[in-house]
Structure 1
């Protein structure tokens, strides 16, 4: 498992009010988190945000009327302030932007309706990345009325998932998965879906209240460690192994050596900045989907074969109908 250069969650600094992580096993290199995300990033003549109204040729034909909101996002990094702050602590430090494995957008329209979508083609700076939100017919009509103002009436947040290395601690933990999952479920008071805050709060309890066997650096019966760091380490590994959907079907005994580096994922919430360049960064178009036949069709094959063929068990034919993939059909008793 390649962990070098990933953000090291054990070494987190604050520069210009932003999180900065040290690169794992790469001295002098740091990773800067963005402070916000803008959905409309004007790029010359290209439209950064586009609304498409989709409908069929008539109300009785598919698809149902809806809208597609496509945006070009851009992350904002406070480069100068962060670099000055980090070099006061670490002269000669190199700063690079954080990259994300996933990013979800949650928008709230002025009437209170909420829509969400996920970014596609994520890169370090979201270059040439885009995301698409499917809107109901009512929400699409509202978005159309707002697009002349650059969608300024829309608010929301972005949830990004950062891949990194979990903190290391000189201890080992043993537990029964059913007891641990039941303990988290009872503590949170939720059935299945829980979030990282609830899991982190559960592991922040005193060690004697946790359904764990802890061995390692102990001092007078208590951990000689930072309790919050201990909770973050367990929360990282728990979510990576079990996820956030509690399931009683996961059974077995586990032993984790927390001193070994582990690849994990953490979620962070970024505020959405006001849409840039009102009236110039958005466009609207209408798309009418043509009707097409979907009912079964009979295909007759004339193979010019003898009435009775000896030694032939089955006969097949391949149909090529663009733009669909090839379909192979087999026929038993070809003389019938």
Structure 2
């Protein structure tokens, strides 16, 4: 993965919830709340399926399947307004998420954190099987229950580890057991900072203990840890039960991809209940009768939270394989599914011998132009009837780009992807109201994105980029012409001068007049453009008939 543009954990944050980018670019904004995602028709992306046998006493026992997606919402407008006060022209963008956990209160089967699959941007999907009683209670709540259902999540996001003029040496078989199997990140940082762990520090200069501890924790996460949650809901790392043997030396001056977390909370079911009040609960809750399967048959549900509209791949899919188990089952059982899945895709069926444990593997594949054989992902073992896939499960890298509705209400966006290998070829896609998203597929984590905005009102086109080829949500805050603008008006006259200023397309009644004097020869003026694509202003000496041409820039000299 290209590190340029990712959150730089080695730089002091400009404000809580914000990160400077590594190597330059737009400031990154962390999400601060969860919302249920919406489908293209505006309905909540939430479905509850109530499953029962064809007659009382026949299998399966009643159960439910809850499937929903949540969006991690970023306060980009608030962040932009705050930053523009001190950094004129700064732009911001949402921070993409990579993985996480989600759990819900009031339901014992949902109170334990469950891994969610992200689309590489801001959408996380969860599919969970619940007992029949829990499913009935959920159905009642969606149908108008007044009880709140608190939803909490811990989401990971990628960034660049802090760098320090320090090297550390340790033995993993001593350090990791001293931390425990699951350690909260805050506890990990505190214990490293205490200096009581078996870590030797070789420093060229003194480094604050907290900064050193954060840099070491960043590297422990990517080298040894897997994301986890403590029993009391704190972000944590799960460390290997059998750590590697030997001595490790880390040079903390080197940039390294790592991950940090952001906690989020909401009542995720509230928007779904509101929608059901207006449109009826039947669109969110369905019942399904299941007939008994032949002995040994298992229906496997496959869900995939993948970026829409992939470009650069001829086919994406997954194969399920139950290896042969002679003599009772001498042949393998296989099932194939290609993506994207239709909205009501049925499960696939694997066949086992009667009484045989359900054990199979999933292998993703991608067919790329010019390659004789498809690329295949690793084998992932399963022992239940659900396969959940995300972008990280495939043997390629997805570069998802989505333009938000406010951008597409004023323009179309041509996205040009240039991979790091010229032989792969340049790919383009035009985003508009009918196609707001695209995902470019590449085998190497490099390349660039260029965005060309074509305003619908005929205003001049605007180009942003080239940017690093990485997950990107395009909001108006990515454009310099959006949000508060500031101009300094200065005079070199020895007398008093009055200056009129007016934002582009604003009516004359909104003219601002500034008075410049020898005592105050420089005055600031702020304004908000009426359109992100018409962000200019005009000025004139007060009392003059003619205005200047529309201009941009942050300085007027009279």
Q: TM-score range by the shorter chain?
A: 0.7 to 0.9
Task: Give me the whole-angstrom Cα distance separating, in 2, the residues matched to 1:63 and 1:162.
Answer: 39
Q: What residue number does 1:303 align with?
A: none
Give yes or no for contact 1:165–1:264 (8 Å, CA) kept in 2.
yes
- What's the Cα RMSD here? 3.3
Q: What residue number does 2:166 align with?
A: 171
Taking structure 1 as reference, are residues 150 and 169 closer, same or farther at Cα in structure 2, changes over 3 Å only?
farther
Q: Determine if the alignment matches structure 1 residue 289 to structure 2 residue 271.
A: no
Q: Determine if the alignment matches structure 1 residue 13 to structure 2 residue 7.
A: no
- Paired residues, what number? 290
C-alpha offsets along residues 180-229 of structure 1, whole Å, 9 cap, x if unaligned? 123324xxxxxx222322212211203xx3312211224xxxxx212211
Give yes or no for contact 1:56–1:291 (8 Å, CA) kept in 2.
yes
In the TM superposition, residue 104 of structure 1 has moved relative to its aligned partner by: 2.1
SS in 1 for 2:273: coil
State the TM-score, normalized to the length of structure 2.
0.47
Ranges of 4+ aligned residues in structure 1 off by more than 4 Å? 40-45, 110-113, 317-326
Q: Determine if the alignment matches structure 1 residue 205 to structure 2 residue 199.
A: no
Specify which structure has the bigger relative contact order, considering alpha-carbon pairs within 8 angstroms and separated by 6 or more residues. 1
Taking structure 1 as reference, are residues 98 and 63 closer, same or farther at Cα in structure 2, changes over 3 Å only?
farther
Q: Which moved further from structure 2: 116-125 or 139-148?
A: 116-125
Matches within 5 A, 1:93-132: 93-109=90-106, 114=111, 116-126=113-123, 130-132=125-127
Alignment gaps of 5+ in structure 1: 186-191, 219-223, 297-316, 327-336
Q: What residue number does 2:241 align with?
A: 247
In the TM superposition, residue 23 of structure 1 has moved relative to its aligned partner by: 1.5
Task: Give me the whole-angstrom Cα distance separating, in 2, the residues matched to 1:35 and 1:51.
Answer: 26
Q: Which moved further from structure 2: 27-36 or 239-248?
A: 239-248
Task: Give me the whole-angstrom Cα distance separating, in 2, the residues matched to 1:14 and 1:155.
Answer: 31
Give yes or no for contact 2:44–2:272 (8 Å, CA) kept in 1.
no
In the TM superposition, residue 50 of structure 1 has moved relative to its aligned partner by: 2.1
Give yes or no for contact 2:176–2:243 (8 Å, CA) kept in 1.
no
Q: Find the partner of 1:77 among 47, 66, 74.
A: 74
Matches within 5 A, 1:155-170: 155-170=150-165
Matches within 5 A, 1:169-318: 169-185=164-180, 192-206=181-195, 209-218=196-205, 224-243=206-225, 244-273=238-267, 275-276=270-271, 278-281=273-276, 283-294=284-295
Taking structure 1 as reference, are residues 62 and 3 closer, same or farther at Cα in structure 2, changes over 3 Å only?
farther
Taking structure 1 as reference, are residues 279 and 318 closer, same or farther at Cα in structure 2, changes over 3 Å only?
closer
Task: Give me the whole-angstrom Cα distance separating, in 1, the residues matched to 2:54 and 2:164.
Answer: 63
Task: Give me the whole-angstrom Cα distance separating, in 2, the residues matched to 1:205 and 1:291.
Answer: 60
SS in 1 for 2:3: coil
SS in 2 for 1:3: coil
Alignment gaps of 5+ in structure 2: 226-237, 298-330, 337-347, 352-558
